[in-house]
Every structure is written in structure tokens, then in C-alpha cells.
Amino acid sequence: MKVPYAKKWQKETDKLRHIALDCSLTEELKWGKPCFTVRKKNVAIVIPLKESCAFSFFNGALLKDSKHLLERIGEHTQAARWIKFTSLREIAAVRSTLTDYLYEAIELEKSGTKIKLNKPSEYPIPEELQSRLADNPVLRSAFAALTPGRKKSYIFYVSSAKQAKTRAARAEKCVPKILSGRGFKEVPN
């Protein structure tokens, strides 16, 4: 029987919630997860995963991270950073550091300090996708009409392939989805 991730990591989630609440953050439920805010701005969130429970800082890239605990969430993640836990013991071992990071994150949020995020236009369109756009005015128009996030989904999907042959196949696979106005991972309604 599969145990839902939220139940699997309930003790770790509760411990992380208490640490955040002890820092005078407000708890809200966002994306179905405990999210912690200050002045209605997101500071951190607890994310139960399959193999661990993560405590994620929305602007973690700005934190000093003197203990080198923070990890990038994904290759293209710009601002967020997280720490993953698999036991209450791991959380207890870094509790004071986690508290320090939370207070630093709160001060950064209150100061209004932000990370300059790359705009979708700053990501180069892979040649294999660019050539399809250049050859097909309807496709080019459909791509131009996509939201910035949807454009990035195609750029990242195609460009992440190592071989030109694979990038070309991926670009071809994107054509019908682009024409439908959806992002790469979106499914039709």
C-alpha cells in the first residue's frame, strides 16, 4: 500500500512548521502545503517529497548559507533553495542554523531585496526550434503568443538534449503543442 508523501513525512513536516512558527512567521496553506509568510510575502514552504521532506526558501539564493546546506531545486531554478530531510534527527541537528536562515530570509523580505530573474527573452531559443519557427509563420506567431513561462518550457525541453538529433526530434514534438497554445507539460482540458 502506498503512503501519501504528506503522511509519510508528517513528523518532519510538523517539526519544520514549529521552527518556522517560532520565528513569528504566519502560516498559510498554499499549493496544498504549509507556507510561511511575513507581510503577506512568501518566505518558506514545507514540501513533502517521495524520498524526503524539503524546507524551501523562496529567495534562498540571497541567503549567506554559511553552513552550505542549501541546494538548488532544479537546473533552471533562479531564486529558491531548499534543504531536504529524511529524519527528525537531521532536523534537530541543524535547527539553530535553520532558525538563523529563517530570520535572515525574513529580514531580506522586509527590506524588499529581490533576485534579478532572467527574463524568458534572455534564454536563447535552440537552433532546432528556431529553424522551425523561421520556416513556419503560423508556428512563429503561435510561439510569440505564448506566455513567458510557456516559452521557457519549450526552450528548456529542447535545449536540454545533448545531441542535435534529439533536439531536432524534441522540437518537432513541440509543434502541435505550441500551435494549441499550451506549455510543454500542459495537458488539454
Report whether 47 contacts 33 (CB < 8 A). yes
pLDDT at 182: 85
Kindly list the domain boundaries of the chain, sorted by start residue: 5-111, 120-180
Q: What is the pLDDT of residues 77-86, one digit of tens each?
A: 788 999 999 9
List, in sequence order, the alpha helices (H) in 55-162.
88-93, 95-111, 127-135, 137-145, 148-159
Closest CA to 12 of 105, 100, 93: 93
pLDDT at 135: 93
CA distance 126 to 131: 9
Give the residues of the chain that fall short of pLDDT 70: 1-4, 120-121, 188-189
pLDDT at 1: 37
Q: What are phi and psi of 69, to 5 degrees?
A: -100, -25
pLDDT at 133: 94
pLDDT at 117: 73
**Which overall architecture, per CATH, does domain 5-111 show?**
Alpha-Beta Complex (3.90)
113 to 58, 88, 184: CA distances (angstroms): 12, 32, 32
As a whole number of Å, the CA-based R_g of the chain is 20
Report whether 25 contacts 43 (CB < 8 A). yes
pLDDT at 156: 86
pLDDT at 167: 93
